[in-house]
């Protein structure tokens, strides 16, 4: 609306006439004070008032829309600032972790990786939300508390797994993988939520060829279906990620899988040599596992009998 020649009232200068108007400034001529310049439309919120009802309604609507736009811009700037701060924290924490591995000061827990049971859930939805819920637990009649996976650190990776209803644990497959948010320490979390690193998430939920969660050469079977999650061996996780990379060679997922695998190995100080040595050892152990199980059962039985004999031995006179 053009407000030129409209009559306005100022609490100090009195009545005046608008002589010029643009997008940001308003020129008003007062009989006693001469021409004054005001910010438009801000001046109508505190200094100027119009006698024209239609013009007043238009100004109120304009100020309302301007305030809404300013608030939206302020939220956008705040969100951008928060994202920049979080990104700086992620970079700082990752640099600290990598430096600790290079200097030999890092001592991650040997089982600081995690595997989640997502039976009945949508892994794609979990990855879309970029976080996963650990659940609640109630002990000794107390109020339920959020579960805290206290071993998780910025070097931790997670797997999302599912299996068909009624199928054994051997059929459990991997449908997603993620790295933990770099600035997150779950030991201090009270929400029960684990945030994902936005740059390291893999979604295999729509693929037909999938990697089994458990293979004999990776180690013993860890039944997951009865619990929400289980911790995972660091080297075993590296084997899983290596298998995922091999499966997706020549596909669109190869580059994300390779970047994920390389970053994981750097964060956990896993070398390719150690991975190959462990792989061969696990493969041999898988072949010899039935013999070892029988041997250790017999050995435990002999130890038990020896302890019994020592307990009931007749003391010498």
What's the pLDDT tens digit per position in 295-310?
Answer: 545 556 666 566 666 5
Query: What is the rounded distance in angstroms from the CA atom of residue 43 to the CA atom of residue 62?
Result: 12
Strands 136-137 and 145-146: antiparallel
Query: What is the rounded distance in angstroms from the CA atom of residue 110 to the CA atom of residue 38?
Result: 68
pLDDT per residue as tens digits for the range 62-90: 888 888 888 999 999 998 998 888 778 76
- pLDDT value for 247: 87
**50 and 158 assigned to the same domain:** no
- pLDDT value for 134: 80
Continuous segment of H or E residues that includes residue 29: strand 25-30
| Assigned token pair, 19 | 């002589």
Strands 229-232 and 193-203: unpaired
Average model confidence (pLDDT) across the chain: 78
| Residue that terminates a domain, selected from 79, 107, 135 | 107
**139 and 102 assigned to the same domain:** no
* DSSP designation for 307: H
45: Cβ–Cβ under 8 A, 6 or more apart, which residues?
63
Kindly state whether residue 300 falls inside one of the protein's structural domains: no
Kindly state whether residue 89 falls inside one of the protein's structural domains: yes
**160 and 271 assigned to the same domain:** yes
**166 and 215 assigned to the same domain:** yes
pLDDT over 70 percentage in the chain: 72
- pLDDT value for 190: 64
Average pLDDT score over residue span 269-276 = 71
pLDDT per residue as tens digits for the range 88-103: 876 777 677 666 655 5
Query: Max Cα separation, the chain?
Result: 128
**148 and 261 assigned to the same domain:** yes
- pLDDT value for 292: 46
CB 240 within 8 A of CB 71: no
CATH of the domain at 91: 2.30.30.140
Query: What is the rounded distance in angstroms from the CA atom of residue 91 to the CA atom of residue 95?
Result: 6
| Assigned token pair, 125 | 């939805």
**87 and 120 assigned to the same domain:** no
Dump the DSSP string for 249-299.
TTSTTHHHHHHHHHHHHHHHT--HHHHHHHHHHHHHHHHHHHHHHHHHHHH
Average pLDDT score over residue span 231-236 = 85
pTM score > 0.75 for this model?
no
**173 and 77 assigned to the same domain:** no
**143 and 286 assigned to the same domain:** yes
Residue 234: which domain range?
113-292
Torsion of CA 13, 16, 18, 22, to 10 degrees: 10
Residues forming a β-bridge with 15: 9
| Assigned token pair, 271 | 């070398």
pLDDT over 90 percentage in the chain: 9
Q: Which residue, among 129, 109, 113, has the nearest Cα to 121 in the 3D structure?
A: 129
Q: Which residue, among 200, 112, 104, 95, has the nearest Cα to 156 in the 3D structure?
A: 112
Dump the DSSP string for 82-133.
HHHHHHHHHHHHHHHHHHHHHHT-----TT-EEEEE-TTS-HHHHHHHTEEE
**122 and 2 assigned to the same domain:** no
Query: What is the rounded distance in angstroms from the CA atom of residue 191 to the CA atom of residue 130?
Result: 15
- Domain count for the chain, please give it: 2
Residues forming a β-bridge with 203: 176
**157 and 231 assigned to the same domain:** yes
**200 and 275 assigned to the same domain:** yes
Kindly state whether residue 305 falls inside one of the protein's structural domains: no
| Residue that terminates a domain, selected from 81, 107, 133 | 107
Kindly state whether residue 273 falls inside one of the protein's structural domains: yes
């Amino acid at each position: 609306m053009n407000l030129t020649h409209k009559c306005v009232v100022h609490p100090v200068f009195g009545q005046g006439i608008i002589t010029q108007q643009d997008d940001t400034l308003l020129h008003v001529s007062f009989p006693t004070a001469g021409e004054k310049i005001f910010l438009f439309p801000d001046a109508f919120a505190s200094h100027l008032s119009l006698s024209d009802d239609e013009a007043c309604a238009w100004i109120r609507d304009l100020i309302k829309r301007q305030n809404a736009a300013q608030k939206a811009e302020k939220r956008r700037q705040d969100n951008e600032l928060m994202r920049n701060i979080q990104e700086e924290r992620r970079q700082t924490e990752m640099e600290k972790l990598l430096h600790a591995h290079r200097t030999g000061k890092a001592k991650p827990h040997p089982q600081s990786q995690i595997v989640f049971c997502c039976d009945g859930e949508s892994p794609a939805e979990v990855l879309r939300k970029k976080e996963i819920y650990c659940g609640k637990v109630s002990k000794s009649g107390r109020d339920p508390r959020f579960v805290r996976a206290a071993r998780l650190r910025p070097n931790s990776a997670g797997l999302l797994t599912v299996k068909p209803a009624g199928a054994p644990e051997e059929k459990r497959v991997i449908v997603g993988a993620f790295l933990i948010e770099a600035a997150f320490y779950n030991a201090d979390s009270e929400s029960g939520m684990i945030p994902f690193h936005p740059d390291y998430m893999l979604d295999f939920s729509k693929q037909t060829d999938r990697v089994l969660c458990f293979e004999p050469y990776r180690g013993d079977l860890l039944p997951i279906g009865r619990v929400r999650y289980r911790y995972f061996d660091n080297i075993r996780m590296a084997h899983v990620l290596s298998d995922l990379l091999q499966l997706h060679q020549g596909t669109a997922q190869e580059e994300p899988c390779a970047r994920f695998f390389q970053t994981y190995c750097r964060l956990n100080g896993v070398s390719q040599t150690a991975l190959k040595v462990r792989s061969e050892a696990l493969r041999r152990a898988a072949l010899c596992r039935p013999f070892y199980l029988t041997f250790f059962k017999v050995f435990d039985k002999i130890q038990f009998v020896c302890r019994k004999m020592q307990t009931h031995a007749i003391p010498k006179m």
